Structure 1
């Protein structure tokens, strides 16, 4: 019998997209799965949609929470229901949907390469209703394998490897890892790296099998607020502390790069008057930490010079980016 895939979906105010998501799962060519639909006290008709599909297909299990507690808590509830000693774990967001071969291809990638998790590319879509799948030529697929440790050194892949969706994990990777429920934003960024760190081997494909609904109203793109900015910064501090505890100097060096870039991003995005206190705080953190790039062997001397120059005035980076990209 094929190994069981256990899918966890946090659901809140998802009625506009949820049915599409669930149908794309129901129609998978790989059929041995169970889906934990974690209704996070959604005030719309999401629960009714979940109940309807669970009545039609016993593989869909509805878990209703009494109060809204956010995606980190919902995912942790799902992990609590899952059997983490067998099969695989997959996370899907309720407004996204997957190509019919998504599970099958992820399983084949993982098994054929004897990896701990597999990862496919993403197709950004603005389509709200239809199941629209891009044309995929599997014969032109490009893959590469990498250790979890080395993946965490890849700054060019950081924004995507931190996303918990688009991947299929061996369940055992999650036995002692849970999402930090203190975060309102970027909870996967504060968590996924811990699972990657445990992975001996990762297999990555460029096939776009996960359809990500690109909404300007999503939590991560719904405008700037202090909580979001601080959560983003604290996730980077979490990584530094984690790698320091593990005595992983090379990973800690790269984590400082992400930390400094996050600070510079906050300074670029915020108004000097409206966010005066926040800017003052993070600018002080930058000046205290920029020297941590000097021993980093993974970045060039030119990059190190930039970080050194930015300590003079954060607007230097904004000017640099404007000149570079217009």
Structure 2
């Protein structure tokens, strides 16, 4: 019987001691057998490093890479990619967790449809409320082959614009890397991967759980760097559509959404006298004028 190809699971971690063990246990329980887990510890100062070392000591397929200084999730993912040996790659955040069939079902779709990317379904754990939020009914799994153009039309959807919860053919990353130091990097990277792919599968099955933590990055006040990186990522997003010959309307719509959100947010925070607000207003007005033409 032919051996299954190796799948590299890249897990960037930073101060996730409270939830990391659950994440790693979910990976060790995979029904798919041929995998490696690459933990990139981004200079955590809680017990994250020790938990990584404990799991690596218990399983030879778990590797720990210790970053000397905190450099961010983008660098950690690039470090993980450089160390990966698998024919296929997936990313899991250190405070999320996956179903035991996560790798098996994603790989089955990859093989059955001869795909380069499988975009899996996800569900959410709202820790504050103590509830799970499901988007795909159990027992009604649907798998669809989609063209790159069809996927790019959906760029505003959460599972389309994030790097996690997907299985990628490793060769797609030969000319693609996460932008070092950016706080918002997923959206412009996944679009490059989509345009490089020949076949993409949308798998409507709840396999990946996103933990919505109180105090997580998505719930904090926006820093100037996050504002700057978000805009840079969306400007690059528009450029990726244009240089690859795809209809840029979805990218412009996403950029307009971000600009309008920041305009509202800065007004709420009383930050309307700085260069950031003027930049937002400049592009927001130009985009409104462009829509009227």
- Residue 31 in 1 paired to residue 33 in 2? yes
Partner of 1:45: 47
- Residue 3 in 1 paired to residue 2 in 2? no
Q: Please, which of 236, 254, 258 is the counterpart of residue 258 of structure 1?
A: 254
Whole-angstrom distance in 2 between the partners of 1:253 and 1:271 = 27
Deviation at 1:156, TM superposition (A): 5.1
Whole-angstrom distance in 2 between the partners of 1:211 and 1:91 = 13
Closer/same/farther in 2, CA of residues 160 and 291 from structure 1, 3 Å limit:
farther
Partner of 1:170: 169
- Residue 99 in 1 paired to residue 99 in 2? yes
Partner of 1:274: 271
Give the RMSD, CA atoms, in angstroms: 2.3
Partner of 1:215: 213
Q: Which runs of 5+ in 1 are unaligned?
A: 296-326
Deviation at 1:182, TM superposition (A): 3.5
Whole-angstrom distance in 2 between the partners of 1:226 and 1:91 = 27
User: Is the contact made by 1:253 and 1:292 (CA closer than 8 Å) also made in structure 2?
Assistant: no
Closer/same/farther in 2, CA of residues 204 and 249 from structure 1, 3 Å limit:
closer
1:152-183 CA-to-partner distances (Å, cap 9, x unmatched) read: 122553x3211111110111111111000141
Whole-angstrom distance in 1 between the partners of 2:240 and 2:155 = 17
Deviation at 1:42, TM superposition (A): 0.6
User: Is the contact made by 1:180 and 1:190 (CA closer than 8 Å) also made in structure 2?
Assistant: no
1:69-107 CA-to-partner distances (Å, cap 9, x unmatched) read: 000000000111123xx5210000000000110110000
Aligned residue pairs total: 286
User: Is the contact made by 1:25 and 1:98 (CA closer than 8 Å) also made in structure 2?
Assistant: yes
SS, match of residue 188 in structure 2: coil
Bigger Rg, structure 1 or 2: 1
SS, match of residue 13 in structure 1: coil
User: Is the contact made by 2:127 and 2:213 (CA closer than 8 Å) also made in structure 1?
Assistant: no
Closer/same/farther in 2, CA of residues 287 and 102 from structure 1, 3 Å limit:
same
**Pairing 1:174-189 to 2, within 5 Å after superposition:** 174-183=173-182, 185-189=183-187
TM-score by length of 1: 0.82
Whole-angstrom distance in 1 between the partners of 2:267 and 2:48 = 37
User: Is the contact made by 1:256 and 1:292 (CA closer than 8 Å) also made in structure 2?
Assistant: no
Deviation at 1:115, TM superposition (A): 1.2
Whole-angstrom distance in 2 between the partners of 1:224 and 1:75 = 23
**Pairing 1:278-293 to 2, within 5 Å after superposition:** 278-293=276-291
Deviation at 1:245, TM superposition (A): 3.1
User: Is the contact made by 1:8 and 1:92 (CA closer than 8 Å) also made in structure 2?
Assistant: yes
Closer/same/farther in 2, CA of residues 155 and 173 from structure 1, 3 Å limit:
closer
Partner of 1:148: 148
Deviation at 1:41, TM superposition (A): 0.8
Name the structure with the higher strand share: 2
Deviates more, 1:92-101 or 1:138-147: 138-147
User: Is the contact made by 2:124 and 2:133 (CA closer than 8 Å) also made in structure 1?
Assistant: no
Whole-angstrom distance in 2 between the partners of 1:40 and 1:230 = 22
Deviates more, 1:93-102 or 1:197-206: 197-206
Partner of 1:196: 194
- Residue 67 in 1 paired to residue 77 in 2? no
- Residue 241 in 1 paired to residue 239 in 2? yes
Partner of 1:109: 109
